[in-house]
Amino acid sequence: MTGEPASRQPAPRREVVTGEPRRVRPLPRYRAQAEIEEQTALGDAYVRSLMRSQLRAGLTAFALLALVAGTLPLAFATLRDATAVWVVLGFAAYPLLTLLAWWYVRRAERNERDFARLVKGRPVP
């Protein structure tokens, strides 16, 4: 896949060239952290409150899922109604899961929007 024109005769040859090992140590970690620090200046408290609101949204969705998934097998075992199992697990479950996911994403994105507004509304440090 060399892009040489065939007209050039004889075809010049390429050699592989690399720099010599410099035994450089990769940059120390703290440099990268200093960079992130710029963002941390936004304030730990702010990030914590964002995390709390996101976790609340997540736990709400998860609790709903866990509650349903936790009780359904028991319900099936006591009902012993095969058609119900087919209807619930074979069809109804998927749209419900997708809806729950959609609800969560909306809520999580709203949290982030509110947070961004909150942070941007504050005087620049």
Residues 104-123 that bind another protein (CB under 8 A): 104-105, 108-109, 112-113, 115-117, 119-120
Taking CB under 8 A as the rule, does residue 27 contact another protein?
yes
CB of 123 to another protein, least distance (A): 14
Taking CB under 8 A as the rule, does residue 21 contact another protein?
yes
Taking CB under 8 A as the rule, does residue 13 contact another protein?
yes
Residues 41-60 that bind another protein (CB under 8 A): 42, 44, 47, 50-51, 54-55, 58
Long-range contacts of 47-51 (CB under 8 A, 24+ apart): 49/115, 50/111, 50/112, 50/115
CB of 101 to another protein, least distance (A): 5
Which tokens sit at 95? 């749209």
Taking CB under 8 A as the rule, does residue 9 contact another protein?
no
Helix crossing, 93-120 with 44-79: angle to 10°?
170
Which tokens sit at 48? 């914590």
**Using CA atoms, how far apart are residues 78 and 87, in angstroms rounded to an integer?**
16
